[in-house]
Structure 1
């Protein structure tokens, strides 16, 4: 009571705007900038792992979910530090500094220069980039998780008891800022990432995509500090989570100590703590444990939900993002989630739930959560169907016992491949697809009479054999362009079959001089229409081509090329890699189902936890809820690293089946759960304590 009265005295004299404490405007702006910083960095994170650090899909997914898991473990640490030692204000300040340093470290980790980059834009000094990014992610997880339980509660502390209506409005605006920051950052940072920066134009600008969130985090910190003199700063009052843990630990020890005694039976195992702790506290812990028991199956939902930022983003890199006037980047598809949240929450609250109630159905919170799990499982079935469609369009890569080779004939003579089959290629032709071999060597012959060359193939490699005009000159090279960003660029090269040197250029790039019977390196282009100019001396001609996402082409200039308007008819092309043909719009159904599941599961789950928690232990259940998110992300690691399922669609179906199984278990647990009114139970204990205290006084008087 003294603490509440003290707060009332300290909050009444503070500046107000329209009935709201002026200090909360600094907190709202701080939260918007912080959420922009976090979700903006996270939106491009898995692509940074895959295309900048050159990790494979499984490793990129594992590190991504490890980071997310730590972001949901550290709130427990932040709550303990704030409530027990530093207080909310100092905790937010100190951990925000740690947070900002982490974001800056991420931006620095993505910087590359001419001394640190090879020919295709790949950083050479990977150790520096990996170490810096891991340090940055650790600091970000510590910072964002540590301040998560503090900021909203600190904002609520700014209101007096006479401002209950304003406090409710504040929390609505607060969560609107969370979703607004998430939505804007998920739109903006992929655009920044897609810019070209650095020495090599083909290198995407991850440093800018991380740098802007770092700047926003610094702004968030500065804004919060500016409002320092206006805040009500409650002193730390001790952490209820520590008290709960101590009470549970004492009950367990005391029970084990009396287990062998015949009289050592209690109605509930927590009753063994009555020797040391108050009965009201024990009753409150019993209520919390009852809800935490229901939390056991919940991590599986988060296992599926958080993959929209990892597996689903990687899935989108093999899809076509051309929506006509709008080109969607793979990481921008994540914006569908916050857009649908802002749309579905009012629809569910004002239309769907009332309609179900009018139909006479008792759609309890636990039933809503069960339906939310089913919707998430359906989302992953949709993702599996999309992946099956994608797999039919992707090239087949060699296994560990196979090799793949592409033949390119520039010899102006017939080239023949003999190996269980007969394949011939005329001059200035290439095999339209990779030829797969189980053998270690093959024979290739050219001309008549034939000259035969023995080619040694590399296992698990994509290679190509290039025959030049000299019969005995055979060149073998690895298909290097496969290592570049498959989705973000189109790979184009030219083979000059003319007897004179040509120059090929576009408004965006110049292939330079290509000598007779030679070829250019691959150049990278954006998708869409590109106009090429072929020039030899004073003669020139133009031809154009529309390129799809992720495609690769080799263009052949014949010796009979006639310069003029019709020159494009003589130029032939070999499609090395087909463009992405499955449209990104096919991901919308899976995003719809996963978001609808989130609304029914997450929003309802938080409401259920709040209603079933004792008044002084709502933070304990909040910590337990966040812990289920962390465990869910660790489950992704186990599956990604241990299961090693070769087909991605099969992994999606595995997750869907696991969630369905967990959903059945949860539905049984929910069926036997009895809803309680914590305030009524607490009132009964307080009434009993008052009666016991009154009886004790009467006995003393008598």
Structure 2
């Protein structure tokens, strides 16, 4: 049993929910029975709650950033459009883009520390403390006295760097940690109370688990509903103080819940092994020839096995899939900077302009349970399981539609008086901000298909030693998207914005088509490959390298 093997390695495990007698599905079962998700472990819910606190903090403080940087200090509060630094839209967009870049660059360091030194749990705890230091600096530097004396801007920059460093160490480890709480790797047949026989599969379970994880993220991101209101009526210091206070219970949950989590100890860095394998693959002209079973006796002894080479190949395939995501993140990032500025040029009434971005998490909080409980199960019943490549393609298409609609709305703003195609810095044109709502809704729908699936795919395709690292590489694609955002800062001005959105939309649509042409076939091969790799990994080695069992690999006995 998998649980017993894990106990032998000194790891905490959840109580197994497997039936007394495991019935593996036959080929006929796969044709006739529907797939369902397994029960989610309690420890996974606790980690989702921790992520809720962290995301509440992150989105609660970053939501007001565009106004904080762009707009000058108002004469009094409540303010029509609150501000503090008065640096203008281009500087605001550049700094928020840098923050996004930095937040998705640092996960690589967090992954290395977790994999080689501390493990995921301790890494999350250490980086959470660093995160808290940045929050305190941001809050203290935003008080009115600091703004008046010119300390706000340098304090803000220092806080951005520290917060980005802290969140990076958490990002690369929390999603693999939540996935590791589910410990069953084999599908099995279960008979439900109504007499129906179903296949309980890890693939459906991970899909459900990451949907729930992403749902928790977006419940937390609804914090940006409260901080813009506080920012408008009280000031930025109070808007930043609330997320700081919410982050502290998240750290407490990490500490108190330690005994509940399934914790994988650090397995050591695999960078040198990967580098050696790649050097040998170039030398021999094939990755397959790097397998110990395929080597000649004269070759030097190696520290890896055949399974490691197979998993490395799968990792490379996953990383190729990730290469298409930077353009998607460029679409996504528009809603936290340029769309906020767009809303500021429309009629918002008494509503803060930067509160509109909360339509995105609101849509996700509503739609994710609908997709998880109705749409995805319904499609599986009909024989359309919506495998990862199909879902990612749908996400790319919805992102393209979001940018196309945004381009149309920007053109409409430019045709309205009194400022026409130069409203930024002057005032509001005669158009209600409600027209921007579909942009946020379409981006949210794209996240369900593309972003959630990307997290799931990154975890499933990563070797056991490299889960944090591969997850960080997926997050790093957001960093590349931020670099693309930097390249567009020069056109993020009136009256060029409509053409910028139109260009992003067209590029994203072409990307969606090419992505499916190049990777659509993976949906057919991944399931079979997952089964093969699962059977190969049915070898378990306890601490100290003792042999637990043998298995057949390429016709040779291996351990």
| Both structures adopt the same fold (TM-score exceeding 0.5) | yes
Question: d(CA) in 2 for partners of 1:360 and 1:186?
Answer: 39
**Aligned-residue RMSD, C-alpha:** 3.9
Give the 3 Å change call, closer, same or farther, for CA 253–335 of structure 1 in structure 2: same
**Structure-1 residue corresponding to 2:525:** 675
User: Secondary structure of 1:66's partner?
Assistant: helix
**Structure-1 residue corresponding to 2:226:** 188
Question: d(CA) in 2 for partners of 1:25 and 1:61?
Answer: 35
**Structure-2 residue corresponding to 1:253:** 279
Post-superposition offset of 1:3 = 5.6
**Structure-1 residue corresponding to 2:80:** none
Q: Any conservation in 2 of the 1:192–1:208 contact (CA below 8 Å)? A: yes
| TM-score (norm: length of structure 2) | 0.74
Question: d(CA) in 2 for partners of 1:608 and 1:28?
Answer: 19
User: Secondary structure of 2:233's partner?
Assistant: coil
Question: d(CA) in 2 for partners of 1:381 and 1:667?
Answer: 20
1:209 aligns with 2:239: yes
Q: Any conservation in 2 of the 1:371–1:600 contact (CA below 8 Å)? A: yes
**Structure-2 residue corresponding to 1:74:** 106
Answer with 1 or 2: which has the greater Rg.
Answer: 1
**Structure-1 residue corresponding to 2:70:** 50
- For residues 225-236 of structure 1, the aligned pairs below 5 Å read 225-227=255-257, 230=259, 234=263, 236=265
| 1:144-194 CA distance string (max 9 Å, x none) | 121223345556777888xx99x98987765443222111x1111011101
Q: Any conservation in 1 of the 2:214–2:452 contact (CA below 8 Å)? A: no
Q: Any conservation in 2 of the 1:294–1:669 contact (CA below 8 Å)? A: no
**Higher relative contact order, structure no. (Cα contacts within 8 Å, ≥ 6 residues apart):** 2
Q: Among 237, 242, 257, which residue is 2:266 paired with?
A: 237
- For residues 194-593 of structure 1, the aligned pairs below 5 Å read 194-196=232-234, 205-227=235-257, 230=259, 234=263, 236-239=265-268, 242-243=269-270, 245-254=271-280, 258=283, 264-266=284-286, 275=299, 276=302, 277-322=304-349, 327-353=350-376, 363-393=386-416, 550=427, 579-593=428-442
Question: d(CA) in 2 for partners of 1:646 and 1:28?
Answer: 43
Give the 3 Å change call, closer, same or farther, for CA 341–11 of structure 1 in structure 2: closer
| TM-score (norm: length of structure 1) | 0.60
Q: Any conservation in 2 of the 1:158–1:231 contact (CA below 8 Å)? A: no
1:132 aligns with 2:155: yes
Give the 3 Å change call, closer, same or farther, for CA 624–675 of structure 1 in structure 2: farther
Q: Among 512, 519, 523, which residue is 1:663 paired with?
A: 512
Give the 3 Å change call, closer, same or farther, for CA 6–616 of structure 1 in structure 2: closer
Post-superposition offset of 1:124 = 5.3
5+ residue gaps, structure 1 = 13-18, 117-122, 197-204, 259-263, 400-433, 435-481, 487-549, 551-578, 697-702
Question: d(CA) in 2 for partners of 1:254 and 1:390?
Answer: 58
Q: Which moved more, 1:373-382 or 1:274-283?
A: 274-283
Bigger proportion of residues as helix: 2
Post-superposition offset of 1:349 = 4.3
Q: Any conservation in 2 of the 1:77–1:146 contact (CA below 8 Å)? A: yes
Q: Any conservation in 1 of the 2:420–2:429 contact (CA below 8 Å)? A: no
- For residues 616-695 of structure 1, the aligned pairs below 5 Å read 617-641=466-490, 646-673=495-522, 675-676=525-526, 677-681=529-533, 683-684=535-536, 687-689=551-553, 692-693=556-557
Question: d(CA) in 2 for partners of 1:300 and 1:193?
Answer: 32
Question: d(CA) in 2 for partners of 1:2 and 1:355?
Answer: 36
Q: Any conservation in 2 of the 1:36–1:216 contact (CA below 8 Å)? A: yes
| 1:656-687 CA distance string (max 9 Å, x none) | 12212322321221245452323413535873
